[in-house]
Amino acid sequence: MYIYINGSYADSNEAAISPFDHGFLYGLGVFETFRVYNGHPFLLDDHLERLNGSLRILNIEAEFTRTETVGILEGLLAKNSLRDAYIRFNISAGNGEIGLRTESYREPNVIAFAKPLPPAGDMNEKKAVLLDLRRNTPEGDVRLKSHHYLNNVLAKREAGPAMDTEGIFLNNEGFLAEGIVSNLFWYREGILFTPSVDTGILDGVTRKFVIELARTAGIEVREGFYKKEEAEAADEIFLTNSIQEIVPVTSFAGKSFPGKSGGAVKRLYQRYEVQRGTLWSRRQLIGGLAND
C-alpha cells in the first residue's frame, strides 16, 4: 500500500516520522475519515472545515483547501489503483523539543492513506449495547477528532470484538451521548431525536448531514439531553458515521427494533445514497442545489 506523507507518496512499509513528533509524544494531532465513491470524496468540504478548525485550536499552522486535498487524493487513489476507498487524512503537530510548548507548530506531519472498500450497497445493521464506561469530557471547549482515543479503545474492549455490535456511551451526567465510533439517532412518532453536542459528543460530519437530510424531508429534528429510557421507547434507532453511513439498530437494552425495515431509516437512506456520489458539502443540500 502506498501512503501520502509530507508531499510525496511512499510505500507504507518504508514511511517514517520522527519519535519527537508531538503528535506521538503528546497527542497533538487530528484526523478525518471519509469515503470516496467512484473517485468522489463525499462531503470533503465539511471534513476540511472541521479539520481546519481543529488545527487552529491546536495552534498548528496548516490549512487545507479542496483543490489541494483533491490533488493529494487523486494521486493516492491512482497509486493504489482504487476508485472506492476509506480515507484517513491525518495531521500531527510535527517535531519539537521534549516538553510542552506554547508557540505554534509550523511544520506538521501530513499523512493520508486509503483502504479499499467495495462499492456502496445496502445498509448494514447492528446491535447496540449500553456501556458501563462513561464518555469522557472533551479536553477543551469542544470535542476534536483527535489522537486522544483511549476512552474509545476501552469502550471497544468492553463492548467486545463483534463487528455487528456498537457500544453506546452515557456522559458523566447520565445522558445519552454517542457510540464508540458513531453518532446516535432515534425516531419516535414522526420526530427524529439526537443528543446535543453540548453533551460532549463529537459533532460528526455525517451527523450534521443526516440532520439536514431529515429537515429537507420535512422531518422535525430535536437535539437535546436525553436519558436512555427515551431511546428505549423509540420506534426506530440508527447510528451514523462517515464510513458506515447510516446503520439501523436491531436491538438496544433488551428491546428489539425494526433495523433496516424501519420506514424512517429507509427514507433517509434513500436520500443519502442519491447524494453521496456528488456532494461536496451539506450546504449544497441546504441551499437546494442537490435534488433527489
At a CB cut-off of 8 Å and minimum separation 6, what does 22 contact? 28, 92, 93, 94, 95, 96, 101, 105
Is 70 exceeded by the pLDDT of residue 167?
A: yes
Q: Please, which pLDDT band fits residue 234 given cuts at 50, 70 and 90? A: very high
Q: Is the dihedral of CA 213, 217, 218, 220 positive or negative?
A: negative
Rounded mean pLDDT, 160-166 = 97
| Domain chopping of the chain, boundaries | 2-116, 126-286
User: What is the 3-state secondary structure of 24-65?
Assistant: HHHCCEEEEEEEEECCEECCHHHHHHHHHHHHHHCCECCCCC
Rounded mean pLDDT, 229-243 = 98
Rounded to whole angstroms, how far apart are CA atoms 126 and 118?
19
Is 70 exceeded by the pLDDT of residue 220?
A: yes
Residue 119: the pLDDT is: 87
Rounded mean pLDDT, 6-33 = 96
At a CB cut-off of 8 Å and minimum separation 6, what does 203 contact? 50, 142, 143, 197
Residue 291: the pLDDT is: 45
Task: Please state, in angstroms and as integers, the Cα–Cα distance from residue 37 to each residue in 118, 211, 247, 275, following that order.
Answer: 9, 21, 18, 11
Domain 126-286 in the same topology as domain 2-116: no
Residue 241: the pLDDT is: 97
User: What is the 3-state secondary structure of 261-280?
Assistant: HCHHHHHHHHHHHHHCCCCC
Rounded to whole angstroms, how far apart are CA atoms 46 and 51?
9
Q: 100-113, pLDDT tens digit by residue?
A: 999 999 999 999 99
Residue 192: the pLDDT is: 98
Per CATH, domain 2-116 is 3.30.470.10: yes
Q: 84-130, pLDDT tens digit by residue?
A: 999 999 999 999 999 999 999 999 999 999 999 998 888 999 999 99
Q: Please, which pLDDT band fits residue 255 given cuts at 50, 70 and 90? A: very high
Query: Do residues 264 and 219 make contact, with C-beta atoms less than 8 angstroms apart?
Result: yes
> Edge-to-edge, what's the strand order for the sheet holding 109-116?
8-11, 2-5, 109-116, 85-92, 29-37, 40-41
Rounded mean pLDDT, 182-198 = 98
Is 60 exceeded by the pLDDT of residue 287?
A: no
Place of cell 481546519: 52
pLDDT mean across residues, the chain: 96
Per CATH, domain 126-286 is 3.20.10.10: yes
> Of the given ranges (77-81, 208-212, 270-274, 286-290), which has the lowest mean pLDDT?
286-290
Is 50 exceeded by the pLDDT of residue 30?
A: yes
Rounded mean pLDDT, 54-64 = 97
